[in-house]
């Protein structure tokens, strides 16, 4: 009999109200949980299949199932990089392997990885795309938070940011257009974003249609999200962007994310650590990138009706490291 077994299942977590970006809205967070068991010890990982990258619950479960025999033969994290491409499936398996090793050895993930253990960090709090009036109202309710992230959608974005700034005058702001701007908007909007005190503009242009960034003045730093996935894409990204948003569901897990964060530093790129909309189990591994990052955006659990048991502790926008009961 094999020493290790792999199990995977889909879960649905209700969102508070709805969550809207330029590509649409959702009312639930759809996640997949992977559990890898050796003896009496189980390691867990969570991923979020993302349609923007051609993923679905069904396709990701199929990818996970395809490596069951490799996991039974004690597939390593480095080996996993060669049998699955970057994406949600590899992320859940990779994070489960990290968690399993930590529990089997009694060592923290930080010690295993040879990195600094995460401490409390400030996370951004995301305001969904909406009308300027409603985003202003949402900002007023959250004006006590030190860092707000605004989901934008193209036309009307200046009015949206103006409404938020008026309602939350002391909050730091970052904005995320999710590929909704065009070249003319870039030229028009960027100086105004600087006037509003915006500190970062995330993925303004469609991935693959962002070459013009090399020729546009940028009073506000530009961050790659959909344009940046793993170390293989870093060289072309570095010529156009100032920051990259590292998400484990894009890199395919913490193993590749750590490599990407270190490589980004070598290119002089700033780092933002981001997330898909999921539970604390999906956020916990990403916290181990915090020492590389200027911006942390791991507010997924705050946007849900409820989080899973033993979830991360939030003190307002202060996010505390996970306990071993959750992960690592």
Q: Confirm whether 151 is a catalytic residue.
A: yes
φ and ψ of 181, to 5 deg: -90, 165
CATH code assigned to 121-319: 3.20.20.120
- Say which DSSP state 246 is in: E
Catalytic annotation, pick one of 26, 151, 250, 306: 151
**pLDDT digit of tens for each residue in the chain (328 aa)?**
458 999 999 999 999 999 999 888 999 999 999 999 999 999 999 999 999 999 999 999 999 999 999 999 999 999 999 999 999 999 999 999 999 999 999 999 999 999 999 999 999 999 999 999 999 999 999 999 999 999 999 999 999 999 999 999 999 999 999 999 999 999 999 999 999 999 999 999 999 999 999 998 889 999 999 999 999 889 999 999 999 999 999 999 999 999 999 999 999 999 999 999 999 999 999 999 999 999 999 999 999 999 999 999 999 999 999 999 999 9
Q: What is the pTM of this model?
A: 0.96
- DSSP H helices, the chain, are 57-66, 68-72, 77-83, 88-105, 109-113, 132-141, 157-167, 183-195, 234-238, 248-251, 254-267, 280-283
CATH code assigned to 4-107: 3.30.390.10
Q: Confirm whether 149 is a catalytic residue.
A: no
Half-sphere exposure of 263 (CA within 13 A, CB side): 19
Residue range(s) of every CATH 3.30.390.10 domain in the chain: 4-107
Say which residues have a Cβ less than 8 Å from residue 157's Cβ, sequence separation at least 6. Answer: 175, 177, 181, 185, 189
């Amino acid at each position: 009999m094999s020493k290790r077994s792999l199990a995977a299942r889909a879960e649905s977590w209700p969102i508070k109200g709805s969550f809207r970006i330029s590509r649409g809205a959702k009312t639930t967070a759809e996640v997949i949980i992977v559990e890898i068991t050796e003896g009496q010890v189980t390691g867990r990982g969570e991923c979020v299949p993302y349609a923007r990258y051609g993923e679905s619950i069904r396709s990701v479960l199929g990818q996970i199932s395809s490596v069951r025999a490799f996991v039974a033969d004690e597939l390593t994290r480095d080996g996993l990089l060669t049998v699955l491409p970057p994406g949600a499936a590899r992320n859940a398996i990779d994070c489960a392997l990290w968690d399993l090793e930590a529990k089997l050895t009694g060592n923290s993930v930080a010690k295993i990885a040879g990195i600094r253990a995460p401490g409390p960090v400030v996370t951004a709090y995301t305001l969904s795309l909406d009308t300027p009036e409603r985003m202003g109202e949402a900002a007023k309710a959250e004006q006590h938070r030190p860092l707000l992230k605004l989901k934008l959608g193209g036309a009307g974005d200046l009015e949206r940011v103006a409404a938020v700034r008026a309602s939350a005058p002391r909050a730091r702001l970052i904005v995320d257009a999710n590929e909704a701007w065009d070249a003319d908007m870039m030229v028009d909007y960027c100086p105004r974003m600087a006037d509003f005190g915006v500190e970062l503009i995330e993925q303004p242009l469609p991935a693959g249609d962002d070459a013009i960034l090399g020729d546009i003045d940028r009073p506000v730093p530009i961050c790659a999200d959909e344009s940046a996935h793993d170390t293989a894409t870093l060289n072309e990204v570095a010529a156009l962007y100032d920051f990259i948003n590292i998400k484990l569901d894009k890199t395919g897990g913490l193993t590749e994310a750590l490599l990407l964060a270190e490589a980004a530093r070598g290119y002089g790129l700033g780092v933002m650590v981001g997330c898909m909309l999921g539970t604390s189990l999906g956020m916990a591994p990403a916290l181990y990138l915090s020492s590389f990052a200027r911006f942390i955006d791991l507010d997924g659990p705050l946007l849900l009706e409820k989080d899973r048991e033993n979830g991360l502790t939030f003190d307002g926008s202060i996010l505390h490291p996970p306990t071993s009961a959750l992960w690592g």
